[in-house]
Amino acid sequence: MHAQTPVQIAWVTRDLAATEAALSGLLGAKKWVRMPGIHFGPDSCTHRGAPADFVADISFSFAGDMQLEVIAPVSGVSVYSEFLEHSGPGLHHVCKAAPNEDAFTAMCADAERNGTPILTHGTMPGGMRFAYASAPDAAVPYLELAYVPPEIQQVFDYVKQEQV
């Protein structure tokens, strides 16, 4: 994997509103976009090598060019629910984005080849692909690898411009 600045910082919480308020005060985020009840199903997502079936409420905003994401697990077993169970609410991951799907696939293969397993892998509606690599013994709970298609990037860019 080559060096790249992360594009996102994410927290897992039990209370979206409280975490949004804290991050707004600390980092200056003005508007949050909530996506409640996002279903990650077995047809589009795996967790620990098996078909996944979980739901999470997700909220995002921006502090400058950095995307802020807040995730509240709702049901099912996921990297989010496991994190809350073992660590409590807190900083969960940073995300690094691939410029295209081939680069995303290569980033995932590089992580595993370098001894960092991919625990969760999936595709969201709209074609956004994501994977969570984990090296907890090295103090890296999760690193999200992502491919964000142009149509979804346009939504992110709109939310970013609304922060001004």
How many whole angstroms separate alpha carbon 121 and alpha carbon 69? 18
How many whole angstroms separate alpha carbon 25 and alpha carbon 150? 30
Look up the domain containing 121 and give its range: 8-161
For 132-155, the pLDDT digits (tens) are: 999 999 999 999 999 999 999 999
Closest CA to 56 of 150, 135, 122, 151: 122
Total domains in the fold of the chain: 1
Is residue 72 a part of any domain in this protein? yes
For 51-91, the pLDDT digits (tens) are: 999 999 999 999 999 999 999 999 999 999 999 999 999 99
- CATH number, domain containing residue 12: 3.10.180.10
Is residue 1 a part of any domain in this protein? no
Q: Where are the alpha helices (DSSP H) in 13-149?
A: 16-27, 79-87, 101-113
Quote the pLDDT of residue 125.
82
Is residue 44 a part of any domain in this protein? yes
One-letter amino acid at 76 equals: G
Is residue 52 a part of any domain in this protein? yes
